[in-house]
Amino acid sequence: MTTTHRVRYLPVYLAEGASLYFPDPRQERGFDGLIAVGGDLTPERMLYAYRMGIFPWYSEGTDIMWWSPDPRAIIEMTAAHCSRSLQRRLRRGDFQFTIDRAFAEVMDGCADRDEGTWILPEMAESYQTLHRLGHAHSFEAWHGSRLVGGLYGVQLGGLFAAESMFHRATDASKAVLVVALTTLREAVRLFDVQFETEHLASMGACELERTEYIQRLNAAVDLRIAFPKEPVVPSHR
């Protein structure tokens, strides 16, 4: 009887300033989707990574780590779940919503966590550069003049890769996620949330095998879309 061994590849090391390269993320790796270590956070490398289904995630004091987890969590554009209590809050107008009005402030809110954060200063600078170039966007939830929730992510064609969200008022992050999904329903084909959590699962997140994710990613990233400028709040009767 013969035994088939599954080949697992080690992450590659990227020197700072190295040419744009990542190994094929569909090659199975033995470190929970860790594809590469090192490199830099230039806009060119960041966009190249997202186009391949790879994103940076690391802690202070370590090299940059590039990931492509398997399975990969997404939210189908027609499958977002909005609870009855959240529907009531949206109908009452408890929050007001904007797009790209406070990108840096949303990142600050996402980074403000008691347990620490992976949104290090160089990370924030990199995503803010992508924002200035038109490749990263934020959705904001306000109560009066106070920013109470938000999310930000990277957009390439029909891909929106949601990176992080925060809330300073009950249901604000859920509300801004529902508004983001509603606003992007006609423009975006793949809404990526990276990892499925209990919170995201309650909002409609599901998991795809990485091969299927890459197939859907390849079909989405080259689409020509106009990113919406105004939010769309769902109306529930």
pLDDT tens for the chain, residues 1 to 237: 555 555 567 899 999 888 999 999 988 666 789 999 999 999 999 999 999 999 999 999 999 999 999 999 999 987 777 888 888 899 999 999 999 999 999 999 999 987 778 999 999 999 999 999 999 999 999 999 999 999 999 999 999 999 999 999 999 999 999 999 999 999 999 999 999 988 888 888 999 999 999 999 999 999 999 999 999 998 755
206-227 in b/e burial notation, b at 16+ Cβ within 10 A? ebbebeebbebbeebbeeebee
SS3 78: coil
d(CA 109, CA 102): 10
pLDDT of residue 237: 53
Domain ranges in the chain with CATH number 3.30.70.3550: 12-69
Please name every residue paired with 234 in a beta bridge, in sequence order, or none if there are none.
none
**Are 237 and 90 within 8 A, CB to CB?**
no
From 232, 108, 204, select the one nearest 164 (Cα to Cα). Answer: 108
pLDDT of residue 123: 97
Furthest CA-CA distance within the chain: 70
What's the topology of domain 12-69? Alpha-Beta Plaits (3.30.70)
Radius of gyration of the chain (CA): 18
Domain ranges in the chain with CATH number 3.40.630.70: 73-220
pLDDT of residue 16: 84
pLDDT of residue 209: 95
d(CA 151, CA 166): 7
Strand-strand pairing, 12-14 and 146-156: unpaired
CATH architecture of 73-220: 3-Layer(aba) Sandwich (3.40)
pLDDT of residue 84: 86
pLDDT of residue 68: 95
pLDDT of residue 28: 67
